[in-house]
Amino acid sequence: MDFIPIDYETLRLIWWALLGVLLIGFAIMGGMDLGMGALLPFVARTDDERRVMLNLQGPTWEGNQVWLVLGGGAIFAAFPPLYAVSFSGFYLAMIVILFALILRPVGFKYRGKVTDPRWRSAWDCALFIGGFVPALILGVAVGNALLGAPFDLDNTLRPSYLGNFFGLLTPFALLCGLVSLSMLVVMGASVLAARTEGALAERAAQYGQWAALAAMGLFALAGLWIAFGIEGYVITSAVVTDQASNPLAKTVAREVGGWMANYGHYPWMMVAPALGFLGMAGAAAGIKTYPGAMTIISAGLGVFGIVATAGLSMFPFLLPSSHNPVASLTVWDATSSHLTLFIMLIATLIFMPIILAYTSWVYKVMSGPVTNTSLGKNPNAY
């Protein structure tokens, strides 16, 4: 299409990068809330401390979920084959995640309706599940993407999924789930340590430090497993980047250490794992001594690096097929049309700055410490 000023290959790369930005945005912004939810029963020992935690999340958690919605929307519109395979094949896993996420708004609204400790304890458990389960299962999903999903495509490109929910819970996938859980706990603990006071902040800093050290160790273990223990996917035919999407028009091989090939071809990609380790190390070093914006930024850089490492290692693959590697979905053969990607890019360039500006304004307005004293002055507090 001569009237489109950006070629098809470049648009595909742009949308791959935008999808990564949206997923990283959710991991950082939504990770704050999920991490705090997973920490709730451990760092908050009294009802007042639990209320502080809930009111710290209350003004912003809904906006943070927008990144997840945008990510799902981007997959639907820009990568329809990926949407068709993942949202149907991983259906039960997504139902588990959605059920856990639904517990969060209900828990926020209903916990304070009754003063009975048993009532509030039950909703505290629900809020813990709403943070812990998505943080773990989303990492398990990334682990299964690295291993390859058991799906196939027929000659009309109609997908069929051949696995089941429990087949997703392999040792490597669970390790990736623990990486995800630990890094999101670091995000939540960094915010808690910076914006609360007293024993609550001290306990959050301690758990955050442990989680950061765990994240580094688990990330390193996952990297060694990827390099020496699992088969990566490699395109062995000519790579066509600017033709209509057809995942079956290529050949793919599986090789141990295949996911490490990109780092040899593009050494600059080593920045991602380096950021993962350095960010988490900075959070571990600073969360107890200098809790504040720099620690939160350091934790965010760690999350950015860890998530980006997975995406860069897999490039150009989006979702490999363990059943039939030829059916694997890549950036070059699983996108919408040239025109669709261009129109979506224009819409994104208009609305993304608005979302970022609004989010920044909300966080500026809601900045500052959250304490028992501040809750007493707010008649709308949870």
C-alpha angle with apex 342: 341 to 346, nearest 5 degrees? 115
Confidence check: pLDDT of 199 > 80:
yes
Average pLDDT over residues 50-67: 87
Band of pLDDT at residue 1, cut at 50, 70 and 90? low
Average pLDDT over residues 238-246: 91
- What is the Cα–Cα distance from 289 to 284, expressed in whole angstroms? 10
Q: Is the peptide bond before 80 cis (omega within 30 degrees of 0)?
A: no
User: How confident is the model at residue 315, as a pLDDT?
Assistant: 96
3-state helix vs strand vs coil in the chain, percent to 5: 70, 5, 25
Phi, psi of 263 (to 5 degrees): -70, -25
User: Do 34 and 365 contact (CB within 8 A), yes or no?
Assistant: no
Burial of 163 (0-12, 13-18, 19+ CB in 10 A): middle
Band of pLDDT at residue 319, cut at 50, 70 and 90? very high
For the chain, what are the domain ranges? Answer: 8-367
Band of pLDDT at residue 250, cut at 50, 70 and 90? very high
pLDDT tens for each residue of 122-159 = 999 999 999 999 999 999 999 999 999 999 999 998 99
User: How confident is the model at residue 166, as a pLDDT?
Assistant: 84
Task: Please report where in the chains the tokens 């306990």 appear, as a residue.
Answer: 203
Band of pLDDT at residue 66, cut at 50, 70 and 90? confident
Average pLDDT over residues 308-325: 96
User: How confident is the model at residue 287, as a pLDDT?
Assistant: 94
Say which DSSP state 179 is in.
H
User: Do 197 and 372 contact (CB within 8 A), yes or no?
Assistant: no
Q: Which residue has the higher pLDDT, 253 or 289?
A: 253
Q: Which two tokens stand for residue 371?
A: 């304490």
Q: Which residue has the higher pLDDT, 7 or 373?
A: 7
Confidence check: pLDDT of 2 > 80:
no
**Which 3 state secondary structure label does DSSP give 319?**
strand
User: Do 281 and 231 contact (CB within 8 A), yes or no?
Assistant: no
pLDDT tens for each residue of 13-30 = 999 999 999 999 999 999
Residue 326's Cβ-side half-sphere holds a number of Cα atoms within 13 Å equal to 10
User: How confident is the model at residue 381, as a pLDDT?
Assistant: 73
- Helix (H) or strand (E) holding 121, with range, is helix 117-147
Task: Please report where in the chains the tokens 């442990």 appear, as a residue.
Answer: 210
The candidate with the shortest Cα–Cα distance to 89, out of 148, 174, 18, 135, is 148
Q: What's the whole-number average pLDDT of the chain?
A: 92
The Cβ of residue 103 has, within 10 Å, a number of other Cβ atoms equal to 20
How far lies 242's CA from each of 4, 11, 26, 250, 336, in Å?
13, 10, 30, 14, 12
User: Do 199 and 228 contact (CB within 8 A), yes or no?
Assistant: no
pLDDT tens for each residue of 355-368 = 889 888 988 888 88
Task: Please report where in the chains the tokens 């390193």 appear, as a residue.
Answer: 220
User: Do 368 and 191 contact (CB within 8 A), yes or no?
Assistant: no
pLDDT tens for each residue of 259-270 = 999 999 999 999
- Residue percentage of the chain with pLDDT more than 70: 99
User: How confident is the model at residue 220, as a pLDDT?
Assistant: 98
Band of pLDDT at residue 247, cut at 50, 70 and 90? very high
- What is the Cα–Cα distance from 33 to 39, expressed in whole angstroms? 10
- What is the Cα–Cα distance from 334 to 318, expressed in whole angstroms? 8
